[in-house]
Amino acid sequence: MTEPAKPIIQIQNVSKRFGKVTAVDNVSLDINAGEFFVLLGPSGCGKTTLLRMIAGFELPTEGRILIDGQDMAGIPPNKRPVNMVFQSYAVFPHMSVADNVAYGLKIAGVKGGEVKDRVAEALELVKLGGFGERMPDQMSGGQRQRVALARSLVMRPKVLLLDEPLSALDAKLRAQMQFELSELQEKVGITFVTVTHDQDEALSMACRIGVINKGEVAQLATPSDLYEYPSNRFVADFVGSVNIFEGKLTLDEPDKAAVDCPGVGKIYLNHGVTGPHGADVWIALRPEKIYLHVPGEGKAVKAAAQDAPDGYNFARGKIKGMSYLGDITLFEIELDDGARIRVSRPNLSRHDQEDFTWDDRVSMHWRADSPVVLLG
Amino acid sequence: MALFARAPIAPLEYSRTLWMRLWVGAVMVFLYAPLVVLMIFSFNDSKRNVVWRGFTTKYYEKALGNDQLVEALINSLTIAALATLASLVLGTLAAVMLWRFRFPWKGAIDGTISLPIIVPEICLGVAFLMFFAAVGWPTDLVWPFNLGAITIAHITFCFPFVTMVVRSRLATFNREQEEAAKDLGASEAQVFRDVLIPHIKPALVAGALLAFTLSLDDFVITYFTSGPDTITFPVKVYSMVRFSVTPEVNAASTLLIILTVILTFIALKAQGVKAIAETH
């Protein structure tokens, strides 16, 4: 995008309390016009409450929400320029597909001919052209969701809110819909705000992701930044699979750092951390960023030495567990120093899975830019 | 595969086991034999109506020619129609109120609303008699206003049934549909009309059927609230039976049974039996 991002939704210091329970705790974030924004978090973290406050079904206890610069306080859901696709789709069962899609337009007083055209256009958009006369109970779950999508899109909202849109679909259909939703969003250019607990969904669809934990924003970042540069242990652990080691910062210079992790050894980094010397920190290391080697070949040592001039990231251990997942194999390795570490290895050839087995001695290394130092 | 060999009875195929067939048959006889006897003897050519003496339809002519009986039937149908209509509105509003809102004394109201179902009819009858006497309810009104007292009494014991049926249907309502309608711009009234009413429609039909039949055949409460000019069908039949059980009574009863069966059939057809079965 070349033009500067303009916020369409501004959430300013919003809190929501249900009795003594704080569902959303002083959240501030801006959602830009035209972006696909995903609120990601575990169940009960407050992400759905946040979405419902944007739609107007819940009112903030504190703070305010602006949509397109207009304060939404006191504006009921039926007067807001947003539309929502519900988790259960909430398609009206007693109306045909076309009547479902036309409902909002009729309420808004749009004329008959235009209603017909816009309904047809919306159904075409979600690939349900020709399904107008069907009743919802004659359609599959995936199709009903498309009806719900069309019913919202036909209103040409400024923002489309989607509450766990893919959670009820089976794995294959979910993957397809992730793709289609992104495509649709690019086509219509409407801002999408989606709530999900599924990290794959978030990573594959979002322009930006807001990770929510216990009612607060844990991190706000693009999918790749979120995965590669998590800013805290919660995000590192929640998004993707990760090894987390506790350690002490023993070396910290502008171009290098080292963390002493009991059970693993010294972990070297090729960049500074700017933390106090001796501070307690955590190291996050993704399983796929660790290379496995058969011991004795010396290749591992060499590779590691090349990579980190001031001390290489190298470890030895024994395979304690394995799970073959087809595309990758996951290893659980007990290091000689005591810690357990998870390593994943792509099965690049059909015989890769035969390279290692239980109780094999292995060595491993990782690049000095792979570990992420977390201060909290 | 032998073409005419019967497949062995599968473990869950109870409908093909002998004892189950006998049992079902016994239940059917127990349920319907009295009605069948009543219908058959309505064609009996005998005054005493104990022994079969030959076929005739003259008692149907007699029953339809009996002005008092016809008047009683018209009264009953009028009361049933009015009571059904009022019970539907009242019962539905009560159900929606109890389902939707939180308010003080909700528990108490929830409990007392079904009281007319629990209280013995005889007590209700006496209570209505006392009540209408105490308030000085006029007894010399013209038709149909003279049916007011009975209609009010009928509404009282009919509408809790409507409330019950509608409430159980409301329990299956997905609140997200209501939110979806609002999200698309609908007001509260539009949500009620476009989303809630269609959802509870099967319950409305079931409730209307219940109310109508309950009102039509009520005897005890009606007996206490009816005056000399406001005889209903059950009360009239009772007074006829006090003299003797003639085939005329049988004929009238048969007509009433056929009427209710037709009404039920139409209502079920209009709604689809499945939808009504879902509400229970």
Beta strand ranges found along A134-213 (DSSP E): 159-163, 191-196, 208-213
Least confident of A65-69, A202-206, B256-260: B256-260
Please state, in angstroms and rounded to a whole number, the distance separating the CA atoms of residues B211 and A108.
39
Are residues B183 and A79, on separate chains, in Cβ contact within 8 Å?
Answer: no
pLDDT at residue A355, as a whole number: 84
Query: 3-state class of A274 per DSSP?
Result: coil
pLDDT at residue B280, as a whole number: 42
CA distance A329 to chain B (A): 42
CA distance B272 to chain A (A): 13
* pLDDT exceeds 60 at position B1: no
Amino acid at A230: P
* pLDDT exceeds 90 at position A16: yes
Identify the top-confidence range among A77-81, B17-21, B144-148: A77-81
Q: In what order do the strands lie in the sheet with A21-32?
A: A21-32, A7-18, A62-67, A70-71
Please state, in angstroms and rounded to a whole number, the distance separating the CA atoms of residues A37 and A221.
10
pLDDT at residue A1, as a whole number: 44
Helices B247-271 and B233-243 meet at what angle, rounded to 10?
A: 160
Least confident of A53-67, A305-319, B20-34: A305-319
The full set of domains in chain A, from first to last, is 7-237 (3.40.50.300), 242-375 (2.40.50.100)
Q: How many CB pairs under 8 A join A and B?
A: 60
pLDDT at residue B141, as a whole number: 80
Residues 6+ apart with CB under 8 A from B120: none
* pLDDT exceeds 80 at position A291: yes
- Stated as kind and residue range, the H or E segment containing A123 is helix A112-125
* pLDDT exceeds 80 at position B269: no
pLDDT bin (cut points 50, 70, 90) of residue A300 is: low
Question: What is the per-residue pLDDT across B196-232, written as a single tens digit (0 to 9) for each?
Answer: 999 999 899 889 988 998 999 899 999 998 887 888 9
Task: Output DSSP code: residue A325.
Answer: -
Mean pLDDT of chain A, nearest integer: 90
pLDDT at residue A26, as a whole number: 94
* pLDDT exceeds 90 at position A5: no
Q: How many CB atoms lie within 10 A of CB A185?
A: 20
Section B48-72 average pLDDT: 85
Section A341-365 average pLDDT: 89
Tokens of B85: 């209509």
pLDDT at residue B274, as a whole number: 53
Please state, in angstroms and rounded to a whole number, the distance separating the CA atoms of residues A83 and B126.
58
pLDDT at residue A308, as a whole number: 53
Task: Output DSSP code: residue A166.
Answer: T
pLDDT at residue B279, as a whole number: 44
Please state, in angstroms and rounded to a whole number, the distance separating the CA atoms of residues B39 and B257.
9
* pLDDT exceeds 90 at position A23: yes
- Contact between B251 and B153 under an 8 Å Cβ cutoff? The reply is no
Closest residue in chain A to residue B190, using alpha carbons only: A107
SS3 content of chain A, % helix, strand, coil (to 5): 30, 35, 35
Please state, in angstroms and rounded to a whole number, the distance separating the CA atoms of residues A172 and B231.
70
Closest residue in chain B to residue A105, using alpha carbons only: B184
Section A201-210 average pLDDT: 94
Are residues A107 and B180, on separate chains, in Cβ contact within 8 Å?
Answer: no
- Stated as kind and residue range, the H or E segment containing A370 is none
Section B101-107 average pLDDT: 89
Least confident of A89-98, A137-146, A292-301, A367-376: A292-301
Closest residue to B195, CB basis, from A87, A92, A148: A92
Contacts of A78 in chain B (CB under 8 A): 182-187
More confident residue, A5 or A54: A54
Are residues A87 and B177, on separate chains, in Cβ contact within 8 Å?
Answer: no
pLDDT bin (cut points 50, 70, 90) of residue B151 is: very high
- Contact between A60 and A50 under an 8 Å Cβ cutoff? The reply is no
- Contact between B75 and B232 under an 8 Å Cβ cutoff? The reply is yes
**β-pairing verdict for A208-213 and A280-285:** unpaired
Q: Is A214 left (phi over 0), alpha (psi -120 to 50) or beta?
A: left
Amino acid at B26: A
Concatenated DSSP letters of chain B: --SSPPPPPPTT-GGGSHHHHHHHHHHHHHHHHHHHHHHHHTTB--SS-SS---B--HHHHHHHH-HHHHHHHHHHHHHHHHHHHHHHHHHHHHHHHHHH---TTHHHHHHHHTHHHHS-HHHHHHHHHHHHHHTT--S-PPTTGGGHHHHHHHHHHHHHHHHHHHHHHHTT--HHHHHHHHHTT--HHHHIIIIIHHHHHHHHHHHHHHHHHHHHT--HHHHHH--TT---HHHHHHHHHHH---HHHHHHHHHHHHHHHHHHHHHHHHH-HHHHHHT-
pLDDT bin (cut points 50, 70, 90) of residue B2 is: low
Amino acid at A63: G
C-alpha count within 13 angstroms, C-beta hemisphere, residue B159:
21
Question: What is the per-residue pLDDT across B169-190, written as a single tens digit (0 to 9) for each?
Answer: 999 999 999 999 999 999 999 9
**Shortest CA distance to B166 belongs to which of B260, B263, B112, B97?**
B97
pLDDT at residue A252, as a whole number: 85
Closest residue in chain A to residue B174, using alpha carbons only: A90
* pLDDT exceeds 90 at position A282: yes
CA B33 to chain centre: 21
Query: 3-state class of A143 per DSSP?
Result: helix
Section A121-143 average pLDDT: 93
Contacts of B177 in chain A (CB under 8 A): 90, 92
Section A70-89 average pLDDT: 94
A358–chain B Cβ distance below 8 A for any pair: no
Closest residue in chain A to residue B177, using alpha carbons only: A90
Please state, in angstroms and rounded to a whole number, the distance separating the CA atoms of residues A51 and A37.
11
Alpha-carbon distances of A35 from A182, A183, A190, rounded to whole Å: 10, 12, 8
pLDDT at residue B140, as a whole number: 79
- Radius of gyration (Cα) for chain A, nearest Å? 25
* pLDDT exceeds 50 at position A96: yes
* pLDDT exceeds 90 at position A306: no
